Structure 1
Amino acid sequence: MSVTDGLDVYVVGGAVRDELLGLPQGDRDWVVVGASPQEMVRRGFQPVGGDFPVFLHPQTKEEYALARTERKAGRGYKGFTFHTGPEVTLEEDLKRRDLTINAMARRTDGTLVDPLRGRDDLERRVFRHASQAFAEDPVRILRVARFAARFTEFTLAGGTLQLCRDMVASGETDALVPERVWKEVSRGLMNEKPSRMFTVLQDTNALAVVMPQLHWNTEVAQATDLSAARILPLPSRYAVALSQTREHAALSVHLKVPAECADYARLAQVLSERLDMLPLPPSPTAQAHLLSRAQYVLETLEVTDSLRKPTRFRDLLGVVLCTRHSAAENLQAEITRIESWSEILDCYLRVDAGAVARQTAGGTNAIKAAVRAARLDAIAACLEKIAPG
């Protein structure tokens, strides 16, 4: 006998939506109608919910939530009180969800339950709020923006767009905490077309609230989508999105982003600025010019800590390449120039510091100077071959 026998259970939300779209289904969420917490525990479900009862299936570990309603009790996304009970219907539970396309359910016999006509909106490729309750939770603006980055053919219904703007104007989005904003923004950056997330946030007037320092324009949008097309990691995509933001450090603090993302945003701009300095002004002789350039390249590798973190340096090159893609007059030449830095890095890393140290007389300072000189020579030799910039 199954622990769900006799329970009125439904798969709800994203799993139903993705199935109808022909997309791979992720984790399934279940809603249980007409049951009590005591009955769920008696059947062997493990309670894990905080604000409202959610249970883990004893075998599959999938989440089963009791059908619930909610009532606004304060400002922000935490200002809610929830009610569960055997009298709460499936339709009441679905109506409190964000979008019609996420407010469908599937019975265990396969029957679709769609009281808000979410399937029609799927076919029309429209994001439409499920009810006026949408306006009570500002996180839903972030979620819609993130969905826009994933479902690239969908548009925001006019009424939903106006509702979002009204929420921003009323100050509802002021209550969003950085951790929740970053959670949604980081997920949106990892979708197919992240620029659409920022566009929706801009169209709803929420962008200036949640990312006030961000400098966003068409060029940055194209670069950000290119970072997704090139399947760059999250820190790189974040750095690309902030590529024209002067106050990137302040924005990283504002969003409380992971240190790695903040470092990528900072160092990508440092690297981009230093690449712009090459070629350097001519020196009196060709040899002096070569050494001058080698010194500059070595300093660039040092300031970006590429010896300890060569993978990050290569990631940063990918960031710079994305940001230059639309603006470069001779794109292939720019690609070749930036990619040549990877070869320079290899020359730099191949210097055997231990062998140099063993051949150097004197103390620590003498050894450090000798190792650095060896790396400078290696870079100069590499530059003679590939002549970047």
Structure 2
Amino acid sequence: MSMPSDFVEETTEDGAVTLRFSGDLSIANMGDMPERLRDYLGNVQRLDISGTDYVDTVGAWLIHRTARDSGAEIIGADDDAQRLIAAVANADQVTDIRPDAPNPVLRVLNEVGEATVIAFTTLAGLTGFFGAIIVGFGRLMLHPGRIRWNAVIARFDVVGVRALGIIGLMSFLIGLVIAQQGAVQLRQFGAEVFTVNLVGRLTMRELGVLMTAIMVAGRSGSAFAAQIGTMKLTEEIDAMRTIGVSPVEALVLPRFIAAVIMLPLLGFYASVVAIIGGGLLSWVELDIPPATFFSRIREVVPLTDVYVGLVKAPVFGAIIAITGCYQGMQVKGNAEDVGKRTTAAVVQAIFLVIVLDAFFAVFFTWIGWN
């Protein structure tokens, strides 16, 4: 049975005051000892704990605090008590409740530096991941029987077929907006008929494919990252490697192939629907009949605009698939990282799509496709 802790005061011949402790120096048996010890702060020279049976963390802190505030010496401690008191003493450090505010210039420079390092690290990781996809694709070409057609077709359904509704609605409304805003501005110059040119060339060359890529990045790119990230978190990908199945071949390539093939189809579909939306508004507001509108579209939209959209679309699809799958593969730690990586996949995909679209705009103008 544990004994209540207590202490007695002894005064030696040299006038030094010693407090001799006994019993269990633990929180359960301490009673009012902390209050009684306060009367001795500054008036005691030694703390003798050789008579104690047990010392816990609270007891060690009480002894350390008394010795610290009185300048007293601790004697009679066994090895366990010495280690515990030393650990409590090491933890007895003054800390600021509110740390000093950092220099704003240094903080901004630090954040810019961290963002730059993350950007270059991510770019290097995406490049390496793209190389792994190329290697995996080469293996499948050498062994066509390993292609997972069921997974590819399932991704066709998710990326393409199930996206037709939302992409069609978005494109139709974009066509309406372009036609309405173009008609308002061109009416000032009596050139409403050129609304047809604006709708046809803008949707077929730029907005049809670009808006489709942004929509697919938010819809399918995030799904790629979340699905693969969850599998990484539950160690399913590690299990696949253990049984000899390549995660790139089983998970990444079906999504990559589906995105590359479906983006041109979805982009062309979005452009056509946007033209239909622009034609409807031109019919209602500008009294341009549908037959005249589409006849004019054939005259003013060169075939190169169609080629531009079809060339850009598979590249956008590859970027979306690579970023989504790469970020999913980087998940580790906990479920919160899945959300972070999913967000990063969408942001990076949209950013890279817009950067590449600007590059393509300059490139096609340079080669004369304008």
TM-score, normalization by structure 1? 0.19
TM-score, normalization by structure 2? 0.20
Larger radius of gyration, structure 1 or 2?
A: 2
